Each structure stands twice: as structure tokens, then as C-alpha cells.
Chains A and B, each alone.
Chain A
């Protein structure tokens, strides 16, 4: 294992030209030790959608690989590419599948509804499983659907594509943001137009998140965010989670690390996280070296090599997400005297 690593890592490792191979192996060991202490809370996995599509899979996500990648918490995405008048029903189906998935592996996965559950899952050696995001286009003119999703265990909402968050946040959109804050439903700004994203971040009293994105300053892609959005997320105390996608970040582990560097630089170490977007059938389109969840230790080794201090890596892996969840709940408790 270490030998193979030496070969592939030593070549392009520009950060430390004098480093001999053993140091890289050492970085990998340090990364593993760090991840044992601070597991990864990953913001995006699309397995639920994949499971719905076909009964036969060759997906990149399974429990052994999540375990070997030190994933300790996972947001299971419930976004559907459908549009028109089947979005709500499709979303309910995805929720149903996600519940089945969690119940099928009681020794491995734990349904997580609160920040307390996140800690609980970690203490019990389970992977905390959050449901979300659901698509904001499920909400057309009322909040009843949002209440129903919340009751069914969903904990984040992605406004992208909704009629009320196109270029401007409409009055109804403001109402959705208020109600999401009240319910402790996270707001996931992935894919929102920059103007809308900044407005939502401004309207939200709770931290917001971007569950799978990259820096538009480095790679132009519809899901990547410009620096002004990074700053807006930073202002809410939220977190921007970097996706492992050849299209969004470039086709190598180093490219992903470049995006993490940029976002850490702009949004700050308190507001950077990971949302790999594993969980699809091939072709996966993930960068080489990060083709499945077991790749996290290699990424952390690279970041150690780039001089990220260990406390920042702990923030990146786990602590930022845990903080955002706690703060979202705190805001909700403070707002709960309000009626639905």
C-alpha cells in the first residue's frame, strides 16, 4: 500500500520538492490517525437516487468503503432531476428508500435528526445518516409540504430551481427561509444563482450550507460558487462543501485540494467542508485518486503536505458540520415561539 502511494504521490507533489518518499507515507499515517479522531461528515451522497433507478448497481458507495474512508456522517441527497408535477411524489419515494436503507443496516447507519444524534452516532460507532436535501421546487405556494418533509426526517432543503429563488428571493421565498429556520431545516444553496444565494444567506438567521460545490474562481461550472457567495456563507457561519467531481474541480486529487485551498482562503477554515457526491453508477466522473469514499485519507495526506494545520483539518472533516447543525438548532429553538 505504502509503496504504491509513494509512486503516485511523489511525482506531482510540488508543495515539498525536498520531501523524500517516506514523508508522504508518514503523511498518510498522520491523516489516518487524524481521521480516526475526526471522521468525515460528508455533505452529499446520491446513492438513494441510484437505488431508485435500477435494481442492479455498480456504485462507488458501500459500507466497507465508507468505513475505510472514515466517513462518520453522511447527508443522503434526496434531489431528483425530475421536473413538472412528479417532484413531490418522487421526493417522497426517495425519503422512503432512504428510511429503508438506514433500517437495513442498523449496525452501521443511524438515522440522525439532530446535532445530538450526530454525536450519539459517533459514540456508538455508527454513520450518522441525515436525510437531505430535498428540492425547493417541491414547495409551490405553501409550507405544508415543508412541514411534512420535516416530520419525515428531512433536515435540509435546496432552493435551487424553485420558482421562488430564481434571481430574486420572492416574498414567499423569504417565508420559506423563515420557516426553515424555525424548523431547524438546513438551507443548502448548491446550484442557486449567485444573487439568490447571497439573498438567502442574508435572509437566513441560521448558518447556511452548500453541500456540493467548487470555487468558480478556479473552474467555471454552474454548481461552483463565486467568491461573493463564499463570503456570504462565511458571514452566516455556514459551510461550503467541496465536491469530488472531475467537471467541477478538475480530474485529480490535487485539483480538489486546490479548490479546498481557495475556499479555505476566502471563506476561512471555519467554513470549508466536504461533500463528495459519491453514490452514482458509472461513469462516476470523480477525480483520479478520489473515486470512492475510501479516498479521503489520501486527500487529507495531501492537505497535510500542503501545510494545513491539524486543527483546520479537524474543522474541515467534522467540526464545521457539527457546529452548523448545532447553530441551526439553536436558531430554531430561539424562533420556536413563532407559530407555523
Chain B
């Protein structure tokens, strides 16, 4: 708007500076970052070998200098474990992931601080440190046990994504064959127990039927820790409009993700072909080891990869804002959980570019402050209030999954 036709770059520079000023005051709460899993895979949690206190752009999307440059004020670190793990192996691996986040927090006390509540998030912001929260990704991490769910909560985990890419015994995933048609009775009990203890219900990765069942069951606001709009890019990982429209009544938020293969229609097709290529060479499609990445690059040389940009993410956010409202959106980049990232949002230092794009599109400072910081903090605070109320009237649930 302030662009002069002869010096178009000026406006962009100005907006970027404005975005940085805004982030200094209202930093980003990011819903999902897979750094712990990357540290497990690359160096088996040997934090000396991959010191995120220094620049690690060769190996990771995430390190502290770039989090700082990106204006990140709070991060839900994913304690994801592969759905190939089941039973005790999944639970143990989740505990190891939780332990690794604890080690990170202890190791960088000047930059990271453990956050368990909305108040902790505000205190972290006031002290200039990055509030570090945890989210578990997939019901396999609790092995059909509500006591394990409670144990994860006691260890500091604050959201549970109901499924990952595979169905669990009580909920359908977006990327698996429908088996239950949403949540089973036990699945509803899991949601109720999450409400009671104050664990956020995360509906990224779940089937639309599961989203609707969970919204009908949950007494607390839900989140989508890293999902975008299905109307913009028709991928099952995204949120359909009727579910987005239900968020105002529920109070929850959908945090737009940056993963190109979910947000850019052209990339959906390309990814299907690339995954087939990886499988043909015996790799898991989510593999990000050097060997797998080399294969990816060779494939790319033959068939150029469609590139998403900050504008692609902004398209989703514009739509999500239209349907769900400005109080019900957020950001969940999925850095270090995806092989590719959009141009301009290459790593965790990229958030200012997204904000500059949104400023360009006329988003107000107040709107952006909600998007980056206050919506997410509000959701955690509201979930805490619901938990206080419910736990005063209801004891722990000891329901078990009966073999069907």
C-alpha cells in the first residue's frame, strides 16, 4: 500500500521490519515442531553432537538462534514416536522423547523455559525466553491406557493428537482406511478424561469423522496443532469447512501448517510420486536421513518440485479466518517433521516473512497478535478452567478398552 511503483522493494522491507516489531511484542506460539524426533534419529539425543545453541542449518530446521530470529515465543515440542512402534515400545519411546525435551530445557536455561500452563507461557514471554511445551502425537503413545495418559500429563505433556497416520483402536486417522467411523466409545472416554485433566485434544491427523465426534464430545476447546484448510487444498490432513465453522462454538483453534504436500495442490500429486519412489528404494516416506534425502534430490532433478511460498500459507489463513474467525486460528509449522518447506518459510526463522505477507494483505496488528500469540494462550487457559471444574466433580476414569 505504501509501495511506490519505482521502488517496489521498499514496501516489502518496511513490512518485514513491521512484522519483526510485532513479533517482538506478540511472538509466535507454534503448535508443532519435531526437533526431538530429529535429534533421536540423527544423534540418538547426543546433544553435544548437535548443539542447537549454535547454527545447525545444515542438519535441522530448528536451532535457538533461528528460533530467536523467527520471533518464536512458545513452542509445543512434539514428543512424536513412529506408529510402527506399538505397546510398550511406543510408550517407552514417548517417555524418551519427553526426557529429551527436559534435557533441552535444562541445557539452554537462558533461552528455553518449561511451560505447563498459560501463566507459564506469559511468564516466559515476560522473561524473554521461549516457553517450551510438549505435545504427544498419536494415541499409540498411550497404549489404550488412561493412566498412561495421566502419566504423560504429569510429565508435562499438554496435548495429545488422537491419531498419527494410522488408525488406533479407538479413533480413525485421516490417512488410513476408516474402521470405526470416527471415535469409539472408549475414544470418547479418552476425550472426556483429557478434558478432566487439562490435556488439549489435538485433531490434526484424524479423520473428519473423528474431528466431528471429538468436537461433539469435548467440553474444552480443541486444537489442530498443524493442519490447514481443505477448501484450499483438498488433502485429508486438512480441516473441512464445516469443522472450521464449528470452532467458534467450541473455542478452539486451527494452527495452519507449512507442509507443502498438504497445502499446495500441485505438491500433493508430486509427493505421491516421490513417496512411491522412496518406497521403491526401501525407505519410509517420512525418512529424512541423508540417504533418503539424496534419493529425493535425484528424483527432484528429473521432475521439478512445485514450490509453495508464504503466500500459499497466507491463502489458507485467509480462508480459515473467513470460516472460523480470527479468534480461532494459529500457526503450526511442523518444522523438522517434513522433508520440504515453502520458499521463505524454509526454517524457524521464516515466520516474519509470513507476517509480512499477511500485513501486505491488510491484516491488522490486533489480528496478527491473536494469530501468533493470544489465541493459543487463551485455548490452554480455557482448557485449564474446564479441567478445574471437571476434576472437582469427577474422579479419574479407569475405563479400559474391551476387545471388540
Contact = CB atoms under 8 A, between A and B. Distances in A.
Given A85-B86, A96-B150, A138-B92, A144 B155 contact: no
B103 interface: yes
Given A140-B92, A152-B155, A147 B148 contact: no
A63 interface: no
Given A85-B87, A100-B396, A144-B100, A152 B151 contact: yes
B88 A92 contact: no
Contacts of A84: 87-88
B102 A147 contact: yes
A95 interface: yes
A56 to B, nearest CB: 14
B97 interface: yes
A52 B79 CA distance: 28
Contact of B88 (A87, A142, A151, A340): A87
Contacts of A93: 145, 147-148
A85 B89 contact: yes
Given A144-B99, A148-B95, A340-B99, A89 B150 contact: no
A96 B146 CA distance: 9
Nearest to A148: B95
Given A93-B148, A96-B150, A145-B96, A85 B155 contact: no
B92 A88 contact: yes
A148 B147 contact: no
A85 B145 CA distance: 13
Contacts of B87: 84-86, 89
Interface string A139-160: 0101111011001100000000
A144 B145 contact: no
A92 B98 contact: no
Contact of B95 (A87, A145, A340): A145
A97 interface: yes
A340 B95 CA distance: 14
**Centre residue among A85, A88, A145, A151 by max chain B CB count within 10 A:** A88
B103 A340 contact: yes
Contacts of B86: 85
Interface string A80-113: 0000111111101111110010000000000000
A138 B86 CA distance: 14
B88 A86 contact: yes
B154 interface: yes
Contacts of B143: 86, 88-89
A151 B150 CA distance: 13
Given A86-B88, A100-B396, A142-B96, A148 B148 contact: no
> Is the contact region of chain A dominated by helix, strand, or loop, or is it mixed?
helix
A209 to B, nearest CB: 25
A84 B154 CA distance: 25
Contacts of A145: 92, 95-96
Interface string B89-126: 10110011111101100000000000000000000000
A95 B98 CA distance: 17
A147 B155 CA distance: 10
Given A152-B154, A340-B103, A96 B396 contact: yes
Interface residues of A, number: 25
Interface string B39-54: 0000000000000000
Nearest to B145: A89
A85 B102 CA distance: 25
> Is the contact region of chain B dominated by helix, strand, or loop, or is it mixed?
helix
Interface string B364-387: 000000000000000000000000
Nearest to B142: A89
Interface in B37-88: 86-88
Nearest to B86: A85
B95 A95 contact: no
Contact of A95 (B89, B92, B96, B147): B147
A97 B103 CA distance: 28
B154 A88 contact: no
A144 B96 contact: yes
Nearest to B400: A93
B145 A148 contact: no
B391 to A, nearest CB: 12
A140 B150 CA distance: 22
Interface in B145-175: 145, 147-148, 150-151, 154-155
**Centre residue among B92, B97, B144 by max chain A CB count within 10 A:** B92
Contacts of B103: 340
Nearest to B100: A144
Contact of B99 (A86, A97, A148): A148
Interface in A142-186: 142-145, 147-148, 151-152
Contacts of A90: 145
Interface in B250-266: none
B155 A142 contact: no
B96 A97 contact: no
Contacts of B88: 84-89, 138, 140
Interface in A51-99: 84-90, 92-97
Contacts of A94: 147
B92 A92 contact: no
A87 B145 CA distance: 12
Given A85-B89, A86-B143, A89-B143, A144 B148 contact: no
A146 to B, nearest CB: 9
Contacts of B150: 96
Nearest to B154: A152
A90 B92 CA distance: 12
Given A88-B88, A88-B91, A138-B88, A97 B97 contact: no
A143 B95 CA distance: 9
Nearest to A100: B396
Contacts of A85: 86-89
B91 A92 contact: yes
B44 to A, nearest CB: 9
A151 B156 CA distance: 10
Contacts of A97: 147
A92 B102 contact: no
Contacts of A100: 395-396
14 contacts: A84-B88, A85-B86, A86-B87, A86-B143, A89-B87, A92-B91, A92-B148, A96-B150, A140-B88, A140-B92, A145-B96, A147-B95, A148-B95, A151-B154
Given A92-B91, A147-B102, A340-B103, 13 more contacts: A84-B87, A88-B91, A89-B87, A89-B144, A93-B145, A100-B395, A100-B396, A142-B96, A143-B99, A144-B98, A147-B99, A148-B98, A152-B155
- The 7 residue pairs across chains A and B that have the minimum distance between CB atoms: A85-B87, A144-B96, A93-B147, A144-B99, A96-B147, A148-B95, A89-B143
